[in-house]
């Protein structure tokens, strides 16, 4: 088998050029770009990336000391694996590994070396490296920040949940029967708007206090206010309380107890409710107990 240079597609005389001459020829074809500004910017960005990486690792380490979190652990491993490769690192990565065979004794003695064009590739890749690493690090930081923010919001919501069963009601005295059931039979603490003197206290302040202290809300909607079409609805302040407690506790813990003959309003249409016959709140007691058991309160 003919393995001469001619058989491999080469023609003409071979010339050997110094490595610098080859590199100069490449730079000449590129119009000799001035890379001094790029080199300075790359160096500055590299320093910034290293500082940001160290700070991220510190934040993640502290967060993981407080609690186990597999997602943050994975992000920490990703951040630890991020490295800024230098020109020397690039050069080593481009060198061939393994045993090399050559009939050229000079080449065999000199060992494996980078070609001139590979040196230029390594130089440009090293300049680009901080930018690429910064992009990867920024993605990790965004993921960690979003995850930790969600965890913090969840913890804040949990911390705001109190221990009382809030009972919202209108003028109807049925709420007293519900209160007796909650306190005497279920042995749970209760709260309602007028339980404490409110003289000198704004409605907003009192509602805020009750929102903070509630673990669950039972809001009694009784037919009290007549609408223009003759239908009956609950008082508006009670309807307002439904929205407030749904927003704070969620739909499963802000439970609407609806009297027969009281019209639904848009916020609760399609949602589960506990219904009871007119003037017979006790008919709903066992269903109320089941809901409180479901929520882990009984």
**Residues 169-195: what's their mean pLDDT?**
90
What per-residue confidence (pLDDT) applies to 62?
92
Q: What is the CA radius of gyration of the chain?
A: 37
What per-residue confidence (pLDDT) applies to 296?
86
Say whether pLDDT at 12 is over 60.
Answer: yes
Q: Which residues pair with 225 in a beta bridge?
A: 233
CATH class entry, domain 164-294: alpha beta
What per-residue confidence (pLDDT) applies to 1?
47
Give pLDDT tens digits for 25-59.
Answer: 998 998 888 888 999 999 999 999 999 999 999 99
Contact 26, 117 (CB under 8 A): yes
Give pLDDT tens digits for 111-131.
Answer: 677 888 888 898 999 999 999
Give the domain ranges of the chain.
17-94+103-159, 164-294
Give pLDDT tens digits for 130-180.
Answer: 999 999 999 999 999 999 988 887 776 565 557 789 999 999 999 999 999
Q: What is the DSSP string of 11-38?
A: -S------HHHHHHHHHHHTT----HHH
What per-residue confidence (pLDDT) applies to 106?
63
Angstrom distance (rounded) from CA 274 to CA 281? 10
Percentage of the chain beyond pLDDT 70 is 85
Number of C-beta neighbours around residue 276 at 10 A? 22
**Residues 247-262: what's their mean pLDDT?**
89
Question: Is this model's pTM higher than 0.85 or not?
Answer: no
Give pLDDT tens digits for 205-241.
Answer: 777 888 888 889 999 999 888 788 878 888 888 888 8
């Amino acid at each position: 088998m003919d393995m001469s240079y001619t058989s491999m597609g080469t023609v003409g005389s071979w010339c050997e050029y110094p490595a610098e001459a080859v590199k100069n020829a490449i730079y000449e074809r590129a119009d000799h770009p001035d890379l001094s500004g790029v080199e300075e910017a790359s160096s500055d960005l590299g320093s910034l990336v290293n500082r940001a990486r160290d700070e991220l690792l510190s934040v993640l380490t502290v967060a993981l000391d407080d609690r186990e979190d597999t997602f943050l652990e994975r992000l920490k491993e990703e951040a630890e694996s991020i490295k800024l490769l230098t020109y020397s690192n690039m050069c080593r990565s481009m060198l061939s590994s393994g045993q090399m065979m050559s009939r050229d004794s000079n080449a065999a003695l000199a060992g494996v070396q980078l070609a001139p064009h590979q040196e230029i590739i390594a130089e440009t890749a090293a300049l680009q490296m901080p930018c690429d690493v910064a992009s990867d690090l920024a993605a990790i930081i965004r993921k960690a920040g979003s995850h930790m923010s969600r965890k913090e919001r969840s913890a804040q919501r949990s911390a705001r949940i109190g221990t009382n069963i809030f009972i919202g009601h209108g003028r109807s005295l049925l709420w007293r029967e519900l209160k007796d059931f909650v306190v005497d039979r279920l042995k749970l603490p209760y709260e309602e708007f007028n339980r404490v003197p409110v003289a000198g206290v704004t409605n907003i302040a009192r509602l805020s206090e009750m929102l903070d202290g509630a673990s669950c809300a039972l809001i009694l909607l009784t037919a009290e206010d007549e609408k223009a079409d003759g239908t009956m609805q609950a008082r508006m302040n009670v309807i307002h309380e439904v929205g407030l407690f749904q927003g704070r506790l969620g739909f499963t813990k802000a439970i609407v107890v609806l009297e027969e003959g009281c019209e639904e309003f848009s916020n609760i249409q399609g949602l589960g409710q506990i219904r009871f016959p007119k003037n017979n709140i006790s008919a709903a007691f066992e269903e109320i107990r089941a809901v409180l058991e479901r929520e882990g309160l009984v």
